[in-house]
A = this chain, B = another copy of it.
Amino acid sequence: MVDRTGHRTVPETPRRTDRLSGPRYGNRPTMKDVAARAGVGLKTVSRVVNGEPGVTPETERRVQESIDALGFRRNDSARVLRKGSTASVGLVLEDLADPFYGPLSRAVEEVARAHGALLINGSSAEDADREQELVLALCARRVDGLVVIPAGDDHRYLEPELKAGVATVFVDRPAGLIDADVVLSDNFGGARDGVAHLIAHGHRRIGFIGDMPGIHTASERLRGYRAAMEDADIQVEDAWISLGVTDPERVRRATEEMLSHPDPVTAVFAGNNRVTVTVIRVLTEQSRQVALVGFDDIELADLLQPGVTVVAQDAAALGRTAAERLFRQLDGTLRAPERIELPTRLITRGSGELPPAD
């Protein structure tokens, strides 16, 4: 639509259905339109839009007037195609709604922002196929880099992408069957310290309720539990260990079973935040006092009676470390893939210092 003064006119009412018909993103003006209206060349518009030097003030003014009048905004999709860098990073995690991933995502976002990149976010829902689908969709969009909290344990599908130079860092759990950067919490050491803390407070019969054994964090924490028990020369009984999905029903049943044994555990080590919450519910219903240490901090843990002793990991630090490493890969300052382990911190609040109830 061009009126007789040569000005492109924009209809007052947005014609929304147009967006789907043509390739012109609604009907947004392009640099070509701006150039035509201002009576200059395309490259001059590009110079003004990008603040490049070499444009007389008068020309610049004319171009700027044209930009404002048409409501022009540079199409970064086109820019990206030509420049070869999308200035975006992909983050694939288990579930955006899980409070553990909030601070992690935010930390990745902040580092990306400092490098001028946007964040594309996706939840794998702990499904390996969905993880792969998401990761490959992000590769197809040519994100500059990828931060992945893996759901699956076979990442060979990423090999061509890594070869092609897609920067990638795995977080929270290692990559499977490929050599890649990974940033983890010290799950083994954290769990060992938490269990040792219970032992130091007189417990010997200690239960471990954890996530599915296939998950790296779950098996590492179990290994930490076993190491602490072995260090104290305690023979672990099968009935003290329960692994599986972390939904409340399963965890509740496991906890109640463990506590109803003839010779029950006097303390429980909970394998992650979801497990801890359910175990607390069950313990408050018991007549007997049972000590508890949980892996992962939870909100309001200090306000419960007793306060909940936890092994805390620093989710924000995990995200920050991974994202920084990603951008160092992109700088080219990095050589071989590394495995970085972040320390955990035992926070004592009461539940882990309860003596055995005998």
The answer to whether A20 touches B76 (Cβ under 8 A) is no
- Please tell me how many copies of the chain the complex holds: 2
What number of A residues sit within 8 Å (CB to CB) of B? 79
* A305 and B280 alpha carbons, distance in the complex (Å): 13
- The reply on A105 being an interface residue by CB < 8 A is yes
The answer to whether B14 touches A164 (Cβ under 8 A) is yes
Query: If A77-B141, A280-B303 touch, does A14 touch B109 (CB 8 Å cutoff)?
Result: no
| Closest-CB distance, A120 to chain B (whole angstroms) | 5
- The reply on A321 being an interface residue by CB < 8 A is no
- The reply on A6 being an interface residue by CB < 8 A is no
Contacts of A71 in B (CB 8 A): 160, 163-164
The answer to whether B161 touches A73 (Cβ under 8 A) is yes
Contacts of A27 in B (CB 8 A): 164-165
**Nearest opposing residue in chain B for A19, CB measure:** B165
- The reply on A39 being an interface residue by CB < 8 A is no
List CB contacts (< 8 Å) of A81-95 with chain B: 81-86, 88, 95
| B interface footprint on A296-311 (CB within 8 Å = 1, 0 otherwise) | 0011110111000000
| B interface footprint on A20-42 (CB within 8 Å = 1, 0 otherwise) | 10111111100000000000000
Q: Which of B16, B284, B305 is the one whose CB lies under 8 Å from A332?
A: B16
The answer to whether B142 touches A122 (Cβ under 8 A) is no
Contacts of A281 in B (CB 8 A): 303
